[in-house]
Amino acid sequence: MKWEDQGRSRNVEDRRGQAAPRRAGLPAGSLPIGIGGVVVLFVLSAVTGVDFLSLLGLGGGSGTGGGSTLPGGALPADVDVADEEEQVRFMSFVLDDLQDFWEEAFRRSDLGYPEATLVLYRDAVDSACGYAPSAVGPFYCPTDDSVYLDLSFYDELQHRYGAPGDFAQAYVLAHEIGHHVQNQLGYLAESQRLQETDSAAASEVSVATELMADCYAGVWAASVDSRGLLERGDLEEGLQAAAAVGDDTLARQAGRIPNQETFTHGSAEQRSGWFRTGFDSADPNACNTFDGL
């Protein structure tokens, strides 16, 4: 992806130098929403013996979703934050571009767009949605309109899940900002209401929520392409990243047989397909995955 180093975004909050916080509970009704799925927390708990569900306050409860769970999320202690500065500046460029795009889209509909904050952290973080270790992966917290990201997630995405490239990284942030857009439009509140009132449909509603965010990411990618910023192979990187965090892909990576009834974010085919739908249509109105629920 073509980009210009414009320094750090004013909406980036850097907490990487802070010590990992003590564990805190998750407030009811404000669970984090991320690129992966709560189903993978079940898988990791079984494989590693670590009760991730209890750790995040998700055990026995209902909610709209969790962050992407990729093992080994923490950065090595000897990695200096200065080594990541170029990546921070790239993410700043993507963040500002995303928010400029959505601000203009909202303006055309006579709506206001409150900017989201990107919080960078290492190892673990306390958010307005509660405590989260790096294993949760990138997530959006609707309580404070913030995306939380440990940059080591991108190493896992590339080396463990076979989704390299800068536009794969851009897709991840675009997906999370997609949740921010959903939050402003009322879709997240509706998603939670539907899951609370119809537990049998909770999985289907969760998948619809995540696929809409994937579609929104594709709509933004179409804008990037129209401005000549998309390079050869970038679209494929985005599609590959979307497929890499499909529920079936993550289940197989954990040595489990995918069970569609437990999906919370959609299959690899669904995720890449909705990202492509957004890209091909370049229209947020084409992203209504809730239609028919």
The structural domain count of the chain equals 1
Of the pLDDT bands very low, low, confident and very high (cuts 50, 70, 90), residue 30 is low
Residue 292 lies in a domain: no
- In a domain, residue 149? The reply is yes
Would you give the distance in Å from CA 117 to the centre of its chain?
14
Is 293 inside any structural domain? no
**pLDDT tens profile 233-290:** 999 999 999 999 998 888 887 788 887 777 889 999 999 999 999 999 999 999 999 8
Q: Distance (Å, rounded) from C-alpha 13 to C-alpha 110?
A: 29
Q: Which domain holds residue 35?
A: 12-287
Query: Does residue 114 fall inside a structural domain?
Result: yes
Rounded CA-CA distance 167/44 in Å is: 27
Render pLDDT for 48-63 as a digit per residue (tens, 0 to 9): 334 444 444 433 322 3
Q: What is the pTM of this model?
A: 0.83
The pLDDT value recorded for residue 115 is: 98
Domain presence at residue 7: no
pLDDT value at residue 68? 42
Q: Which amino acid is at 247?
A: D
Concatenated DSSP letters for the chain? ---------TTEEE-TTSPPPPP-PPPTT---EESS-HHHHHHHHHHH---HHHHTT-TT---S------S--SPPTT--GGGGHHHHHHHHHHHHHHHHHHHHHHHHTT---PPPEEEE-SSEEEETTEEEEGGG-SEEETTTTEEEE-TTHHHHHHHTT---SHHHHHHHHHHHHHHHHHHHHTHHHHHHHHHHH-GGGHHHHHHHHHHHHHHHHHHHHHHHHHTT-PPTTHHHHHHHHHHHTSHHHHHHHTT----GGG-SS--HHHHHHHHHHHHHH--GGGG-TTTT-
Is residue 1 assigned to a domain?
no
Query: Per-residue pLDDT tens for 185-237?
Result: 999 999 999 988 888 888 999 999 999 999 999 999 999 999 999 999 999 99
SS (H, E, C) 126-195: EECCEEEEHHHCCEEECCCCEEEECCCHHHHHHHCCCCCCHHHHHHHHHHHHHHHHHHHHCHHHHHHHHH
In a domain, 116, yes or no: yes
**Which pLDDT score, from 0 to 100, does residue 187 have?**
94
Q: What is the pLDDT of residue 264?
A: 85
Residue 4 lies in a domain: no
